Amino acid sequence: MPTDFYYDGANGSDTTGNGSQAAPYKTIKNATVGGVFNPSVVRFFIKRGTTVEIVGGAIHPQGPFYIGPYGDGEEWATLLCNNGGSYYLATGSGCAAGDVVHFDSIKIVDDDLTSNVSGVYQNDSGSGTIKVTGCYIQDFFNGIMTQRGTAHQLLRNTITGVRNAGIMIEHASVAAPSNMLIADNYVDASNATNDGIVLHNGASDGYGNIIRDNVVIAGLEQAIDVMAMFPGTIVDRNVCYSNPAQPTLWEEIFCRGANSVISRNLIFTEKRRGILLDNAGITAKLNIIV
Which tens digits make up the pLDDT trace of 250-287?
Answer: 889 999 999 999 999 999 998 888 999 999 999 999 99
Predicted confidence (pLDDT) at residue 72 exceeds the cutoff of 90: yes
Predicted confidence (pLDDT) at residue 96 exceeds the cutoff of 90: no
Residues contacting 23, CB < 8 A, separation 6+: 12, 13, 16, 17
At 83 the pLDDT is 55
Query: Who has greater pLDDT, 248 or 182?
Result: 182
Euclidean distance between the first and the last CA atom of the chain, given in angstroms as a whole number: 52
At 32 the pLDDT is 55
Residues contacting 57, CB < 8 A, separation 6+: 29, 30, 37, 83, 84, 85
Could you tell me how many helices (H) and strands (E) the chain has, helices first?
0, 30
With CA atoms as reference, report the closest residue to 222 among 182, 167, 178, 179: 167
Cβ-contact 63, 99 below 8 angstroms: yes
- Distance in angstroms (rounded) separating the CA atoms of residues 260 and 85: 37
Q: Can you name the residues that pair with 133 across neighbouring β-strands?
A: 104, 155
pTM: 0.94
Cβ-contact 230, 209 below 8 angstroms: yes
Predicted confidence (pLDDT) at residue 147 exceeds the cutoff of 90: no
Predicted confidence (pLDDT) at residue 211 exceeds the cutoff of 70: yes
Residue length of the chain: 290
Query: Who has greater pLDDT, 83 or 75?
Result: 75
- Distance in angstroms (rounded) separating the CA atoms of residues 259 and 272: 24
Mean pLDDT estimate for the chain: 89
Predicted confidence (pLDDT) at residue 150 exceeds the cutoff of 90: no
Element (H, E) at 108: strand 107-110
